[in-house]
Each structure stands twice: as structure tokens, then as C-alpha cells.
């Protein structure tokens, strides 16, 4: 005995071996039965290696006390001499209090763990049937079941089987048990057995070969008349007999006695659930599934497997329902129904348990299972390799087929295995059905140690569990709510996998003008056995439909092939389209909307990544753009390289802007078409303006740095004019500018002028030198004296010119002047200089008003291109951009001195301010705004569709169709588009006649 106040060497050894109550363990080891254990250090080591050494020792003591003397001696001798038995028996006793109870009741059952062959074998149904062979009543069946379970648990806790193999063995044991229970029920009612055929169909985890230690075994019963019955025999009597057998089978497995229950047999997945008959005929099952079944019932049938009873009847059932399972994805709202069902499961978890719910909670086992099942049902219609009831087998097939990324599948596999292992060890402890992670520290310690976490079991377990839960939740959200799933589910069965003939027919039906060429593209993209081809075969059926939703599906497919060829060796490209948000649909819309966006993308295809970023389509602001451009310029070694880098940024950002414009106009399944066309025009105008300003700033920095270092001999500023200054640029607009400089102190004026002119010349050259990047053309024709005047003037020269020679059209042009690049203080002082000209005190005199009207009338008669339809010319036509802008600018010149709201470079802002000031009615303001927005949209649309600037609608039918889609018109309504444009601009022209020309 241990003396008071002192600790024995055994006590210390027990503490080191992981015993949490060494004193109690010492007392147990002092028992006469345990002297062999106490003296053997190997046994103490083995106890210390278990999940719970205290629990293992208590279980061993109970077993030894329950065994007869001879049996006890054999047990302890074998325990000391045979390491396999030692590891298996103590491993089970340290992990499962319930199996220790079983061994205390049936001490001879420890022998099942002795034989190497039995312990290391991976048994199947036949082996388990042999293990249950002697059971001829419910009690002996339960004892034999626990004995078999003991062998499974031993292999599990010793690592002989992994979690998937353990789950499969449990399912096979359940199969053997159901067969044995049915045999007992038949033996008890031979007349019922003779009067019917009964098939037992396993569902859920048992059907999927992935059962837990303690789980309901979900089944469906199918009844029929005996094969020997005469034609027309009473099916009703056969079903009644089968129902009695099925009910007895359920009681044998589910009812509890001194040996406990085996597990509940749950038949609630049958048609009509618990309200429906327990047994139905095959025809009754089919009638229900064809007329009344809900989406979740087909999802449940995915795991259906014959396990007991009449094998031929069971096979008939599986053969009959399988086609219904793989057609379920074609049901209306199928994907959204499955997603809603998963959300309902989470919503129904008690609030206090959500964070501990291992199975049903966010990031739990159900997240993996639902995601895998949804992908199976959507893609499995055309790919039989996905027809597996096992989650992990199906996940492996999804990865092999390219439906899930290999890295994602590997992470899901790892996390699912970890979470299932946690669930197994939780249930193994007391053989109770539970999925809640315990809060008690001792329970967490035992659970962590059972999973091999020994240094700090509680902390390590919590960390690993949270990590795997986060992985599962992230990938579940990514896969389960993948937008592509809805689109794939909506395809007809023959459209999912494209044979050459089926593809050709579908291409013609979809409206491809050249199906032969389209087939060549499909063959090039999807032929072969590579993973890339497999993913393409998944994407293309959906993409073909999205391309066909445009005016030029042939161009969309061709552009997709060109992008795919360019990015063929880039691993992230196809994963992006398959997995990320609306990337695939966004790309389809962009590639089939016209020439500009695909041309910009093909110059640097990696920009396709923008389409997968939820915020990737939002144009970047001036500050961020200028920072990036200047950083790129700073890294370049030459001015030419620096400006090329700046132009590269501009090309990428132009693509971002065009993509947002197209997707906002066309819409996607996730994002309907943008309704506020004015907002779209404003976003494009602001984005292109900011981009051009940042590019000019970069070009200026590059040129100055190359020739003058950090400081130019003269201060220099770029002033935006026209649509540039008004933040109203379209995709094809030049950058209208003025250049102003001011010699630095002590610098000769001639030297300063020469430097300023050299800067301008080099900037213009580098910004339009032929390259793969789109040019930025600089137009300085609005400078004093126009093309005849000097390209650059000093601030003093501008002041002198405007004081002496300024004409009214120059004051009008200066209404949209705004500094864009260069010396900010110089730009500000230039604006202060011109404000009195563009907002003259007391407004314009009548002579000046007449001059502006005369200039406008002359421009209408002389500058409209010969042969152009004046009702459809967006810039100079009746009610077009020029009409609206000159009307607004006249209001600014006349009233800007008195109305601060009119002092803006923006046409739309000035129009709204004029209305607020009472200078025109709200109705007239809306008419002018509608016309200006529509004309701007048409100009942008023409550039997007044709890839080059024009001021009239295209004449080509496909291009005109694309314009219609961009403006929101359905196919076949091109005439409506033209009529609406003419009507909108005709109303605007009437307002212009009244406000600008003063007509009554």
C-alpha cells in the first residue's frame, strides 16, 4: 500500500502513462487478478497508448473479474505474451465503455480478438453472416452482433482499417444482420414467408456502404406475390404478409432488452413517409415516384442498395428507380430545391448546438454529402462513373471526371475522413447515436487521444476540428452553390455530352450560322482523355447555350477557343470557369457581345481572372490607377518600355470596363440586366476618363524622367477638354486636351518652351506607337488658334490670348476644361484663369447667343457626313449628342455666373442643375437626358460590337442584332430599337428647337 503523503513509483509511472486518476488505477492494479499486469511494463505501456488508460484498466478489471478462473488465466497469459491481442483488446477497452460492458457480460468473447487472421482480415457480408450463423432468436442475434462489432472496433482503433473501410464493414455487418433478422421473422411465421416475396432495400449510409457505429438503418420494403403464384393472385394478401414480416424484422433489430438494441430500422424514407404503407409493390412505388415524389426523395434513392430478402425483386426495384434518380436534375427548380433543403436542415438545429453539431452544422458531414450528391445528380445523367452511393468514391469520380478540382477533392476527402473518424469515436464510446462534439474536457481528451493526438489532445483536437470544418464550409459554398450547376441541370439529357451528330443538330437548333466550323472548335477543345478536355466537355454544353443567347454565337465560340488555346497550359483557367462564381457565364457574354472586349482580352488572356472575382468588374478609381501606372513606369528602364507598361494597364482596365458594361447590359442568371442605362453610361465615361488620365500621367512621368530626370525645366499640366474633361468618354474617343506650362524660376522661356514641346511630341508618339496595346490618341485642336496655334502655351500666353482674341466658341469649349495630369497647382490656376470666360458675368449678350446659334446651324449643314441619315446619327443628327450638349452649354454660358450648379463639366449634371434652377421644365430635362444617354449608349455599343468608332447604327444584320441585345431588345425587335431611337431623339429635337433656337 502507498504510505500517506508519499507517492509510489507505480503512481508516478501511471501518471506518465496518461492516467488521469493514478490513485484509482493503483488500487485496481493491487487487486489479485491484476498482479500480472502490474508487474509487466509492456502492459502498462499498452494501457498508456489507449485513448483512455483509466477506462481501459477498469474494463480489463471487469473482464477479468467476470471470467471464470481458467478463462481469466488464459486471458491474462495471452495478454502478456501476444502483442496483437494486447493492442486490440486494450484499444477497444480504452475507447468503448459499451463494448467493455458487453465483454463483462460475455467474457468469452475476448477470444474473437486473438486470431491474427480474424483481426487483420477485412471481412465482407459472407464473413459476418458466418459470425451470426448461430443466432436464431433476437437475444442471441444481438449478442452475436456485438461480438462482430467488437472485431470491427478492434481493427478500427488499432489502425488496421481506415475510416472508409470501417464504415464499409459496419454496412456489411448491417446487411448480414438484416438478413439474419429476416430469417428469424420468417421462421416465426412460415405461412407469411410462403405467401409473399419481400425485398429489403438499404438507403442512406447503409445503402451507401458508409455506416456509422450507431445509426438508424434506413430501409424501404418492396413486396410481391410468390413466383409460384398463379397469374392474377391477390397482391393485397401478399403485401399484408410481407408487411408482417417487415414489421417483425424491424422489432428484432430495434427493440431493446438486457443486451440493448442493435439499431433502429427506419422505414420513413418510403413513399409518403410514416403515413404511407410499410410495404408496397414495385408498381405502387413507381406510380408514386412518377407522380408525387419530391426532389429530396430522388436524392435519397441515390444510395439505394438491395441488402436482404428476394434478390431478384430487389434488382427489379433498383433497375426501375435508377433512371428516375438520374433524371431528377431535370425537374424544375431541382438545384434550388436541394440548396433550400440543406439550408432548412441548418436552420432547424437548436441555436445552442450549431457550433458543436458535427454532422448537420455548417462545415459538417452533411455539407460534404449534399455537395457531392448534388454534383452527382446534375452530372451523373451523362456520366455513369458518378453512380456511386459512397460519398468518397463519388468524390473521387467527380475529381477524375473534372467536375471538381483535384485539390478541392483532396481537401474535402481529408476533412470528411477526419470528421467521420471523430463521429465514429464519439459513438463508439457508449454506442449511442450522437453527433455533438462534447464539452466535457475528459471526453474531449479521450476523443483527441483516440485520433492519435497525444501532446495536447484537447487543444489539438479543437484546432484540427475547426480547421477541417472551415475547409468543408468553404468548399461546400463553392461547389454546392456553383452557378454552373443550375445551367447544367437545365440542359436536356442529350445535350450534356456532345456526340458529333448530337452536337451538330444542337448547333443548328441554337442558331449557329456555321455548324461545321463550330464542330471543329468543339472537337479541338474537348477531344482526348486529358483532364483539360474532361472539364471542357463539362463546360461546353452550357457555354453553347450562353453563346446562342447572343447575336453572334459563332464568334463567341471562336473567341472561346482562342482564349482557351492561349491559356491552355494555365492550370487555373478552366478551374476558374468551373468553380468560381459566374465566371463562365460572364466570359460567354463578353466573348459573344462583339469585337472590342474579345480583342482586348486576347491581347493578354490572363485578364480573364477578372471575371471570377466578385469585385473584379468594378472599375478602379483614378488614385489607384495612377499609383499602379506610376509604379509600372518606375520599374521600366526606358521611356518606351514605361509607356508600354502604362498602355498595358490601360488595355487591361479597358477590358474590365467593357466586361462590366456588357454584363450589366446583357445580364446573367445571377445578375439581371442593369435597368439604369444612365448609370451605365456614367460608369463607362468616368472609368475611361480616369484610365486615360492615369495613362497620360504615366506617359508624362516616363518622358520627363528619361530626358530631364526628376524635374522638368518648366511646370507642365494637361487639361482635359470636350468629352474627356466632361468625364463622358466613350470607348473610341480621342483625348481632347490643352497643354499649359510655366517656366520654373531662373529658366529661360525659350528653353522651357522647347522642353514643353518635346514632352508633348514624345508623349503623343509613345502613346500611339504601333504595338499590341490599343493606342491613346491625343487631340489638341481645341487650343487657341486651333491647328494653326502653338501646341503648348504658357499660362501667361493663354491669359493674353483669351483677354484679347477669345471667341465665343472657345468660351463654350472651355466649359468642359478640367486638369487631368501634371502640375496640380498650375492646373488649378488655369481653371481660375478661364472661369470668367466660361461663366461670363451677367451671362452672354444677344450677339454672342446669335453667334452660337449660327455656329450650330452651320455645323449641322456642313459636318454631317454625306448620305448619313440625320435621324440616326448619334453625334450630329437631330436630337443627338450635339443637340443636347449645345443646348445645355448655352444655358451654362447664360446662367452659370448666377447658378453654381451649372458650373460643372458634366452634361447630365448641368442638365439636372438647370432643371433645379427652373431654367427648363422637369419634362424637358428628362427628354434631353433620355436622348443624350441613348445616343451615348449607341456610340458605346457600336464600338463594343464593331471594334471601331462610328456614329451610326451598323448595317450588318448580326452587328445590328448585337446592338439590340446591348440596348436591351430581344431578338427580332431590331425595328423597335430603331423606332425607339428615332422617337426619343425626335422629342429631344423639339425641345432643342424651343430652348436653343428659341422657336415657339
36 — pLDDT class (breaks 50, 70, 90): low
Banded model confidence at residue 4, pLDDT cuts 50, 70, 90: very low
Residue of 912 and 85 predicted with greater confidence: 912
C-alpha span between 372 and 368 (Å, rounded) = 6
Find out whether 107 and 63 touch, Cβ atoms under 8 Å. Answer: yes
**CB 580, CB 542: distance < 8 Å:** no
DSSP state of 109: G
Across 77-81, 343-347, 528-532, 847-851, least confident range: 528-532
Averaged pLDDT, 219-237: 88
Q: Cβ neighbours of residue 59 under 8 Å, at least 6 residues apart? A: 93, 94, 97, 100, 103, 104
Which among 767, 837, 853 is positioned nearest to 804, based on CA atoms?
A: 837
Choose between 325 and 406: higher pLDDT.
Answer: 325
Per residue in 91-109, pLDDT (tens digit) is 999 999 999 999 999 999 9
pLDDT for position 313:
97
Question: CA 375, 377, 381, 383: dihedral to nearest 10 degrees?
Answer: 50
| Contact assessment for residue 646 and residue 695, using Cβ atoms and an 8 Å cutoff | yes
- All residues at 6 or more sequence positions from 791 whose CB lies less than 8 Å from its CB, including other chains: 739, 757, 760, 761, 780, 783
> What pLDDT band is residue 552 in, cutting at 50, 70 and 90?
confident
The tally of CA atoms less than 13 A away on the side-chain side of residue 624 is 6
**Is residue 299 predicted with pLDDT exceeding 50?**
yes
The values of phi and psi at residue 709, to 5°, are: 80, -135
Q: What is the mean pLDDT of residues 364-368?
A: 92
Cβ atoms of 237 and 194 within 8 Å: the answer is no
Q: Which sign, positive or negative, has the C-alpha torsion 290, 293, 295, 296?
A: negative
The neighbouring-strand residues paired with 742 are 715
Tell me what pLDDT residue 981 has.
96
Q: How confident is the model at residue 81 (pLDDT cuts 50, 70, 90)?
A: confident
The span from the CA of 338 to the CA of 358, in Å, is 20
Taking alpha carbons only, the member of 919, 870, 874 closest to residue 892 is 919
pLDDT of residue 866: 85
Backbone angles phi, psi at 819, to 5 degrees: -60, 135
Cβ-based burial of 779 (10 A; exposed 0-12, middle 13-18, buried ≥19): middle
Indicate the SS3 state at residue 720.
strand
Burial of 291 (0-12, 13-18, 19+ CB in 10 A): exposed
Closest CA to 426 of 437, 418, 416, 417: 437
* 183 vs 401, more confident: 183
pLDDT given for residue 574 in this prediction: 84
Q: What per-residue confidence (pLDDT) applies to 512?
A: 82
Nearest CA to 651 out of 711, 681, 622, 692 is that of 692
CA distance linking residue 175 with residue 170, whole number of Å: 9
Give Cα separations from 376 to 6, 331, 346 (angstroms). 65, 15, 22
Distance (Å, whole) CA 229 – CA 223: 13
* DSSP track, 481-499: T-HHHHHHHTS-HHHHS--
Q: How far lies 275's CA from each of 218, 249, 299, in Å?
A: 16, 19, 20
Q: What is the pLDDT of residues 925-958, one digit of tens each?
A: 999 999 999 999 999 999 999 999 999 999 988 8
Phi-psi region of 282 (alpha: psi -120 to 50; beta: other; left: phi over 0): alpha
* Residue labelled with grid coordinates 472508409: 164
Instruction: Quote the pLDDT of residue 5.
Output: 44
Round to whole Å and give the CA distance between 810 and 801.
11
DSSP string, 743-786: EPTT--HHHHHHHHHHHHHHHHHHHHSSSSSPP--EE-TTSTTG
Q: Stretch 477-495: mean pLDDT, rounded?
A: 59
What pLDDT, on a 0 to 100 scale, did the predictor assign at position 380?
A: 87
427 pLDDT band (50/70/90 cuts)?
very high
Q: How many CB atoms lie within 10 A of CB 947?
A: 16
Examine the pLDDT at 310 and tell me if it is beyond 60: yes
Q: How large is the average pLDDT for residues 553-560?
A: 91
Average pLDDT over residues 594-609: 91
Sequence-separated (6 or more) residues with CB below 8 Å from residue 266:
216, 217, 218, 219
Q: How far apart are CA 534 and CA 860, in angstroms?
A: 59
State the pLDDT confidence band at 505, using cuts at 50, 70 and 90. low
User: Residue 996 above 90 pLDDT?
Assistant: yes
Q: For 440-468, how does the pLDDT look when each residue is reduced to its tens digit (9 = 90+)?
A: 999 999 999 999 998 899 999 999 999 99
C-alpha cell at 938: 449607341
Q: What is the pLDDT of residue 670?
A: 54
User: The dihedral of CA 121, 135, 312, 220: what is its sign?
Assistant: negative
Count other C-beta atoms under 10 Å from residue 99's C-beta.
24
pLDDT digits (tens, 9 = 90+) for 632-647: 999 999 999 999 999 9
Q: Is the pLDDT of residue 174 over 70?
A: yes
Average pLDDT of the chain to the nearest whole number = 90
Answer yes or no: is pLDDT of 509 > 70.
no
What pLDDT score was predicted for residue 120?
A: 47
Q: Degrees (nearest 5) of the Cα angle 425, 427, 433? A: 155
Per-residue confidence band for 491, with pLDDT thresholds at 50, 70 and 90: low
Distance CA 418, CA 464 (A): 9
At residue 658, does pLDDT exceed 90?
yes
| DSSP conformation letters of 406-438 | HHHHHHHHHHHHHHHHHHHHHHHHHT----BPP
Most confident of 251-260, 698-707, 782-791: 698-707
More confident residue, 671 or 587: 587
How many helices (H) and strands (E) the chain has is answered by 47, 10
Name all contacts of 766-769 with Cβ < 8 Å and 24+ positions apart. 766/639, 766/640, 766/643, 766/699, 766/702, 766/703, 767/643, 767/647, 767/695, 767/696, 767/699, 769/640
**What pLDDT was estimated at residue 305?**
97
What pLDDT score was predicted for residue 501?
A: 59
Q: How far apart are CA 329 and CA 299, in angstroms?
A: 10
Percent of the chain scored above 90 by pLDDT?
A: 65
Instruction: Point out the least confidently predicted range of 13-27, 347-361, 696-710.
Output: 13-27
**Where do we find the cell 473534372?**
402
pLDDT of residue 665: 85
Amino acid at each position: 500500500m502507498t504510505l500517506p503523503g508519499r507517492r509510489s513509483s507505480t503512481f508516478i509511472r501511471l501518471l506518465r502513462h496518461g492516467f488521469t486518476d493514478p490513485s484509482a488505477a493503483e488500487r485496481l492494479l493491487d487487486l489479485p487478478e491484476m498482479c500480472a499486469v502490474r508487474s509487466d511494463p509492456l502492459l502498462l505501456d499498452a494501457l498508456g497508448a489507449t485513448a483512455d488508460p483509466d477506462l481501459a484498466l477498469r474494463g480489463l478489471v471487469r473482464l477479468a473479474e467476470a471470467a471464470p478462473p481458467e478463462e481469466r488465466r488464459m486471458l491474462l497469459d495471452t495478454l502478456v505474451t501476444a502483442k496483437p491481442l494486447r493492442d486490440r483488446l486494450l484499444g477497444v477497452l480504452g475507447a468503448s465503455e459499451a463494448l467493455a460492458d458487453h465483454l463483462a457480460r460475455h467474457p468469452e468473447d475476448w477470444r474473437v480478438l486473438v486470431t491474427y487472421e480474424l483481426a487483420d482480415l477485412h471481412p465482407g457480408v459472407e464473413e459476418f453472416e458466418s459470425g451470426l450463423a448461430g443466432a436464431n432468436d433476437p437475444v442471441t442475434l444481438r449478442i452475436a452482433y456485438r461480438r462482430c462489432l467488437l472485431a470491427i472496433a478492434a481493427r478500427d482503433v488499432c489502425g488496421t482499417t481506415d475510416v472508409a473501410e470501417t464504415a464499409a464493414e459496419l454496412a456489411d455487418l448491417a446487411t448480414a444482420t438484416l438478413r439474419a433478422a429476416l430469417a428469424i421473422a420468417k421462421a416465426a411465421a412460415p405461412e407469411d414467408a410462403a405467401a409473399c416475396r419481400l425485398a429489403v432495400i438499404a438507403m442512406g449510409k447503409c445503402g451507401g456502404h458508409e455506416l456509422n457505429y450507431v445509426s438508424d438503418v434506413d430501409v424501404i420494403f418492396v413486396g410481391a406475390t410468390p413466383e409460384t403464384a398463379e397469374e392474377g393472385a391477390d397482391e393485397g394478401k401478399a403485401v399484408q404478409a410481407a408487411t408482417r414480416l417487415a414489421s417483425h424484422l424491424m422489432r428484432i433489430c430495434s427493440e431493446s432488452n438486457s443486451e440493448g438494441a442493435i439499431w433502429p430500422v427506419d422505414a420513413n424514407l418510403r413513399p409518403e413517409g410514416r403515413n404511407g404503407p410499410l410495404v408496397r409493390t414495385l408498381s405502387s412505388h413507381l406510380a408514386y415516384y412518377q407522380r408525387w415524389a419530391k426532389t429530396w426523395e430522388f436524392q435519397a434513392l441515390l444510395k439505394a442498395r438491395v441488402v436482404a430478402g428476394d434478390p431478384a425483386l430487389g434488382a427489379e426495384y433498383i433497375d426501375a428507380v435508377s433512371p428516375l434518380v438520374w433524371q431528377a436534375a431535370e425537374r424544375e427548380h431541382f438545384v434550388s430545391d436541394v440548396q433550400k433543403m440543406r439550408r432548412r436542415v441548418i436552420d432547424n438545429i437548436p441555436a445552442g448546438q450549431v457550433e458543436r453539431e458535427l454532422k448537420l452544422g455548417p462545415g459538417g458531414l452533411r455539407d460534404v454529402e449534399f455537395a457531392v450528391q448534388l454534383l452527382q445528380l446534375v452530372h451523373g445523367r451523362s456520366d455513369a462513373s458518378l453512380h456511386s452511393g459512397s460519398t468518397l468514391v463519388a468524390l473521387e469520380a467527380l475529381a477524375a471526371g473534372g467536375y471538381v478540382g483535384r485539390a478541392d477533392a483532396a481537401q474535402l476527402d481529408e476533412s470528411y475522413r477526419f470528421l467521420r473518424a471523430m463521429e465514429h469515436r464519439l459513438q463508439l464510446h457508449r454506442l449511442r447515436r450522437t453527433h455533438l462534439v462534447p464539452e466535457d474536457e475528459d471526453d474531449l481528451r479521450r476523443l483527441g487521444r483516440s485520433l492519435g493526438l497525444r501532446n495536447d489532445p484537447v487543444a489539438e483536437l479543437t484546432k484540427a476540428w475547426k480547421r477541417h470544418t472551415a475547409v468543408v464550409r468553404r468548399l461546400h459554398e463553392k461547389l454546392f452553390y456553383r452557378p454552373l450547376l443550375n445551367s447544367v441541370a437545365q440542359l436536356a439529357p442529350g445535350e450534356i455530352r456532345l456526340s458529333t451528330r448530337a452536337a451538330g443538330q444542337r448547333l443548328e437548333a441554337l442558331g449557329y450560322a456555321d455548324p461545321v466550323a463550330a464542330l471543329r472548335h468543339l472537337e479541338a477543345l474537348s477531344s482526348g482523355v486529358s483532364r483539360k478536355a474532361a472539364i471542357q466537355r463539362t463546360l461546353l454544353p452550357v457555354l453553347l447555350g450562353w453563346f446562342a443567347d447572343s447575336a453572334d454565337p459563332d464568334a463567341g465560340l471562336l473567341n472561346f477557343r482562342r482564349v482557351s488555346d492561349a491559356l491552355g497550359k494555365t492550370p487555373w483557367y478552366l478551374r476558374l470557369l468551373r468553380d468560381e462564381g459566374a465566371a463562365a457565364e460572364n466570359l460567354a457574354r463578353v466573348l459573344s457581345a462583339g469585337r472590342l472586349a474579345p480583342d482586348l482580352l486576347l491581347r493578354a488572356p490572363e485578364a480573364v481572372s477578372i471575371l471570377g472575382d466578385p469585385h473584379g468588374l468594378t472599375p478602379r478609381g483614378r488614385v489607384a490607377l495612377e499609383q499602379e501606372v506610376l509604379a509600372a513606369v518606375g520599374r521600366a528602364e526606358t521611356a518606351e518600355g514605361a509607356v508600354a507598361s502604362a498602355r498595358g494597364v490601360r488595355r487591361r482596365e479597358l477590358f474590365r470596363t467593357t466586361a462590366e458594361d456588357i454584363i450589366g447590359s446583357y445580364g446573367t442568371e445571377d445578375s439581371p440586366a442593369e435597368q439604369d442605362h444612365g448609370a451605365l453610361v456614367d460608369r463607362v465615361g468616368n472609368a475611361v476618363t480616369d484610365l486615360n488620365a492615369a495613362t497620360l500621367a504615366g506617359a508624362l512621368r516616363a518622358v520627363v524622367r528619361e530626358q530631364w530626370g526628376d524635374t522638368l525645366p518648366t511646370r507642365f499640366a494637361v487639361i482635359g477638354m470636350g468629352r474627356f474633361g466632361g468625364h463622358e468618354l466613350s470607348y473610341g474617343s480621342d483625348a481632347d486636351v490643352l497643354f499649359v506650362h510655366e517656366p520654373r524660376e531662373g529658366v529661360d522661356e525659350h528653353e522651357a518652351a522647347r522642353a514643353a514641346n518635346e514632352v508633348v511630341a514624345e508623349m503623343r508618339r509613345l502613346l500611339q506607337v504601333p504595338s499590341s496595346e490599343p493606342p491613346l490618341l491625343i487631340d489638341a485642336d481645341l487650343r487657341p488658334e486651333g491647328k494653326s496655334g502653338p501646341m503648348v502655351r504658357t499660362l501667361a500666353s493663354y491669359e493674353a490670348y483669351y483677354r484679347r482674341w477669345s471667341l465665343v466658341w472657345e468660351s463654350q469649349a472651355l466649359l468642359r476644361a478640367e486638369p487631368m495630369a501634371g502640375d496640380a497647382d498650375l492646373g488649378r490656376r488655369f481653371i481660375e484663369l478661364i472661369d470668367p470666360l466660361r461663366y461670363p458675368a451677367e451671362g452672354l449678350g444677344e450677339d454672342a447667343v446669335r453667334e452660337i446659334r449660327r455656329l450650330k446651324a452651320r455645323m449641322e449643314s456642313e459636318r454631317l457626313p454625306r448620305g448619313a441619315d440625320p435621324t440616326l446619327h448619334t453625334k450630329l443628327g437631330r436630337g443627338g449628342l450635339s443637340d443636347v450638349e449645345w443646348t445645355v452649354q448655352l444655358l451654362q454660358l447664360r446662367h452659370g455666373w448666377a447658378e453654381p450648379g451649372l458650373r460643372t463639366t458634366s452634361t447630365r449634371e448641368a442638365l439636372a442643375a438647370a432643371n433645379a434652377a427652373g431654367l427648363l421644365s422637369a419634362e424637358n430635362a428628362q427628354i434631353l437626358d433620355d436622348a443624350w444617354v441613348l445616343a451615348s449608349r449607341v456610340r458605346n455599343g457600336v464600338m463594343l460590337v464593331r471594334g471601331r468608332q462610328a456614329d451610326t447604327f451598323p448595317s450588318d444584320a448580326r452587328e445590328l442584332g448585337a446592338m439590340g441585345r446591348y440596348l436591351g431588345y430581344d431578338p427580332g425587335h431590331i425595328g423597335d430599337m430603331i423606332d425607339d431611337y428615332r422617337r426619343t431623339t425626335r422629342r429631344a429635337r423639339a425641345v432643342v428647337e424651343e430652348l436653343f433656337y428659341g422657336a415657339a
